[in-house]
Structure 1
Amino acid sequence: MSARLNTAQPYVIGLLRIVVGLLFAVHGAASLFGVLGGAAGTQGGTIDAGTWPSWYAAVIQLVGGTLVLLGLGTRAAAFVASGSMAFAYFDVHQQAALWPIQNGGELSVLFCWTFLLLVFTGSGAFGLDRLLARRTSAEERRAADQTPVAA
């Protein structure tokens, strides 16, 4: 049973990456463009450009979430996204109370730890990282096969 579960691991990680990336990107899009209800705390509005830290967080959410969704530069994008969520938790939420259930920081904590997991697991299946890695290794093999051997 465990062997079958292990063979499914890259696919489940890939699906997790896609869902989490999409949800994170949607948060950024809502804050930057006012779609899907707009920025939190506004009535369908957006965050003013350059507003610290919320506008920068929204840019990280949109760009980082999109990169994670696509599986492109997953580890780096997930690292930045994880850090931004840690900052959000400690700077915004923990001032209100110690525990996430008390301070409304559950989503920040879950995003933070999920992105940190992706830093270590990589993109899993279905990611552009894997596609590009395969293409690069195939090109390197072709180049090695065409290299003349010195006699």
Structure 2
Amino acid sequence: MDKFNKLLASGEPMVLGLFRIVTGLLLFQYGVAKILKFPVLPYFASPPPLIMTAGGIELVLGALLIIGLWTRPVAFILSGEMAFAYFMGHMFKTPAAPVFTPLINGGSAAILFCFACLYLACAGGGPLSVDAMMKKK
């Protein structure tokens, strides 16, 4: 079992970079859908200003996360945005009766993004990032 653990641990830095890139791409696609209206999604057809603001954050910071520039602060801000999105857009969608179960209120992705970005804020961007390249200089 020790050999198996060592084998998997040897790939950890590259998988961290891959995790950052995929997380950034997924957040970026939400920003593109909200701001650029591509693809056309019915629930983003005419978004209110709060959703447009969230889309701008996801578009710009998602792109920064993809390339790994300022990974820790960007991921920290995105983590907070996703927590805010969960509470405002999912849990308290109906203020009279908040729905606490993510499976019912549709907030599973927001929770997952929140903790994925929190992990990236703590772990950094990995070796496949602009941050790592800037440290080498």
**What interval of TM-score do these two structures reach, taking the shorter chain for normalisation?**
0.7 to 0.9
- Alignment-mate amino acid for residue 78 of structure 1: A
Within the alignment, does 1:15 sit opposite 2:18 as a pair? yes
Mark the structure with the bigger radius of gyration.
1
Q: Deviations over 1:40-70 (max 9, x none)?
A: 614xx3546xx1x211111110011111110
8 Å Cα contact 1:32/1:46 also seen in 2: no
Identity %: 36
Residue number among 29, 35, 38 corresponding to 1:35 in the alignment: 38
Alpha-carbon contact 1:26-1:62 (below 8 Å) kept: yes
- Which structure has more relative contact order (CA 8 Å, sep 6+)? It is 2
- Give the TM-score normalised by the residue count of structure 1: 0.80
Alignment-derived partner of residue 114 in structure 1 = 116
CA distance in 1, matches of 2:21, 2:5: 24
CA RMSD of aligned residues (A): 1.4
**Is the partner of 2:113 in helix, strand or coil?**
helix
**1: CA distance between counterparts of 2:133 and 2:43?**
40
Equivalent position of 2:82 in the other structure: 85
Residue aligning to 2:51: 54
Code of the residue aligned with 1:87 in structure 2: it is F
Runs (4+) of structure 1 exceeding 4 A deviation are none
Higher-helix-fraction structure = 2
Which structure 1 residue ranges, 5 or more long, are not aligned?
136-151
For 2:124, give the aligned amino acid: G
- Of 121, 133, 136, the match for 1:134: 136
Task: Extract unaligned runs of 5+ from structure 2.
Answer: 93-97
Task: Please report how far the alpha carbon of residue 31 of structure 1 lies from its aligned counterpart in structure 2 after TM superposition.
Answer: 0.5
Residue in 1 aligned with 2:7?
Answer: 4
